[in-house]
Amino acid sequence: MKRTITLTVNGAPRSVEVEPRALLALVLRDQLDLTGTHIGCDTSQCGACTVHIDGRAVKSCTMLAVQAEGHAVTTIEGLAAKDRLHPLQQAFWDKHGLQCGFCTPGMIMTAADLLAHNPKPSEAEIRHALEGNLCRCTGYQNIVAAVQLAAGAR
Amino acid sequence: MLRLPSFTYLQPRTLHEALAMKTDAGPDGMYVAGGTDLYPNMKRRHQEPRTVISLMGIPELAQIGMRNAQCGIGPCVTLTTVSGHPTIRDDYAAVAHAAGLVSTPLLRNMGTLGGNLCLDTRCNYYNQTYEWRQAIDFCMKKDGHICWVAPSSPRCWAVSSSDVAPVMVALGADYVLVGPGGERVVPAARFYHNDGINYLTKQPDEVLWEVRLPRPDGWDAVYHKLRRRDSFDFPVLGVAAWVRWEGGRGTRDEGRVAEARIVLGGVASWPQEVPEAGAALVGTDLSDEGVAAAADAAYRPAKPMDNTDFDLSWRKQMTRVYVSRALAELRRRRLPPAR
Ligand SMILES: Cc1cc2nc3c(=O)[nH]c(=O)nc-3n(C[C@H](O)[C@H](O)[C@H](O)COP(=O)(O)OP(=O)(O)OC[C@H]3O[C@@H](n4cnc5c(N)ncnc54)[C@H](O)[C@@H]3O)c2cc1C
Ligand code: SF4
Ligand code: FES
Ligand code: FES
């Protein structure tokens, strides 16, 4: 049975009608048109679907939309200020931290959680924090470099 | 795209409400906490509850508190919190360490201690999509009659794959369960069953209400985990080792092991204690000979089946290596700096 839930998405209150089984990742993409949140594996492995719930990075393919009721969701679309990229987005650009770009929204959301809780992480801490995000293209090196650059730029 | 089947989702605010909802839902109702085990399983139709009752809205279940110098952890505390909590890190380092080894940071932000301790057992023939399982014909754990790992076996050998459960058994933690009939306290060791299908002694309507850790009074414990990658993967072998030193840990006159427990994860359908291994350590100062005897004792009954990652016989051999490493760590930690 569908029900209407209200949540904050990227700072703005939104209401959507959802079935309990609707995954947050699908509702963000199909009902709220926020297609920056990607779906890769569907089984809580790859991290492409990472979003923030009240500031903590989680996998939105493993969470029901109804669980987000009353909470603040941030997606990749919510990071940039009007026409200025978020420092992490800029750093991924500058350091060539992406190739196909499929993993990038999830990488950046996870890295943003890391930097919010640990503004000056070591390389090892960055790698550890990104463990739940898989990338098939870059070999991770430039992703780590991008996060280091963003941490330095803050 | 793997979709969840339809279900009704309920969010009780009190334990009383949760129990009433479960009674109303009957056998088709299931509790959920972080959902990191249950939802992927539901996508693969391993569990098909018609009613899902979330425990995450019950504030008491998400607390960590001290009573009589004993630490009590609510089951809905996330693994991120367990692994970072100052009291748990200082006094129950093995618990914090094991919680921090589960999966990846993103899943530890959602996954809870209670969900980890009640984790479904795992098997290569079971943790597959419905279509995959249908294609080879279902096994007895779900929808079928045969065991593909041991076709003549009357039972399922799916593997206990929780990282924290072996530590709880080794520490001698108590689990507080609350059901419609009231509250009962069960030692962690008696919470688990060596059966891949009925792996818990908990009744389906009972809620795990609290995990009570023993006082930190002169014992020490460690956890070592074997897996292919240093992240993501479930344990294919976990070793929890616990010792009580004569005279207490960190005291000048401490000498020998008064009591010890070795518990193996990933080798059976429950966290398997090997009493012979613990007994081999009593009276030793974890000398090389004592450690070797315990490692050998742990190696013998470890009976991994061919249903997880890695070669079967290699996994069995690794029991010896990982038990030795765990005990070597305990020996190194014997005289910690005075706090
Ligand atoms: C990619 C991936 C990797 C993983 N790696 C690991 C790993 O390395 N090690 C590991 O141990 N686990 C691993 N897990 C499993 C899981 O994420 C964790 O065990 C997690 O702690 C489960 O907690 P949860 O709150 O999400 O459980 P849920 O999915 O909410 O619940 C799991 C089960 O416990 C029951 N339950 C939960 N809480 C209670 C309660 N209070 N009372 C009664 N019943 C309850 C539920 O009914 C359900 O049957 C992994 C999962 C994934 C998807
Ligand atoms: S051990 Fe056998 S019955 Fe159990 S899940 Fe695996 S194949 Fe199925
Ligand atoms: S789509 Fe969510 S983790 Fe892969
Ligand atoms: S850039 Fe292609 S998956 Fe990471």
pLDDT in tens, B192-207: 999 999 999 999 999 9
> What is the bridge-based pairing of β-strands A56-59 and A50-53?
antiparallel
CA distance B64 to A65: 28
Q: Any idea what DSSP says for residue B43?
A: H
Mutate to test the pocket of ligand 2, among B121, B133, B140 (most ligand atoms within 8 A of CB): B140
B8 to chain A, any CB pair closer than 8 A? The answer is yes
**Which amino acid is located at A146 in the chain?**
A
Max CA pair span of chain B: 64
- Tokens 């306290």, residue? B185
With a 6 Å cutoff on the Cβ, whether A105 touches ligand 3 is: no
Q: Which CATH number among 3.40.640.10, 3.10.20.30, 1.10.357.10, 3.90.1150.10 corresponds to the domain A3-78?
A: 3.10.20.30
CA distance B36 to B232: 13
- CATH 1.10.150.120: does it fit domain A87-153? yes
Interface confidence (ipTM) of the complex: 0.94
With a 6 Å cutoff on the Cβ, whether B125 touches ligand 2 is: yes
Q: Is-contact B276 B314, C-beta < 8 A?
A: no
User: Nearest ligand, CA of residue B30?
Assistant: 1
Cα–ligand 2 centroid distance for B306 (angstroms): 10
**A-chain residue closest to B44, CA distance:** A43
CA A62 to ligand 1: nearest atom? 53
CA distance B85 to B93: 10
Q: Which two tokens stand for residue B64?
A: 């960590």
- Residue from the list B8, B110, B232 with its beta carbon closest to the beta carbon of A62: B110
pLDDT confidence of residue B259:
96
Nearest to A66 by CA among B35, B48, B43, B49: B35
Q: How many CB atoms lie within 10 A of CB B72?
A: 17
Domain segments of chain A as ranges: 3-78, 87-153
State pLDDT tens for residues B211-225. 999 999 889 999 999
Residue B85 — pLDDT band, cuts 50, 70, 90? very high
The strand pairing partners of B186, in sequence order, are B175
**How far is the first Cα of chain B from the last one, in angstroms, to the nearest whole number?**
54
State pLDDT tens for residues B104-129. 999 999 999 999 999 999 999 999 99
CA distance B31 to A129: 30
Q: Which two tokens stand for residue A16?
A: 């959507």
Q: Is-contact A20 A64, C-beta < 8 A?
A: yes
Q: Is the pLDDT of residue B337 over 80?
A: no
Domains in chain B, please, with CATH?
Answer: 8-56 (3.30.43.10), 59-119+159-213 (3.30.465.10), 219-332 (3.30.390.50)
B50 to chain A, any CB pair closer than 8 A? The answer is no
Q: Is-contact B106 B85, C-beta < 8 A?
A: no
State pLDDT tens for residues B155-184. 999 999 999 999 999 999 999 999 999 999
Q: Which two tokens stand for residue B141?
A: 């754990």
A110 to chain B, any CB pair closer than 8 A? The answer is yes
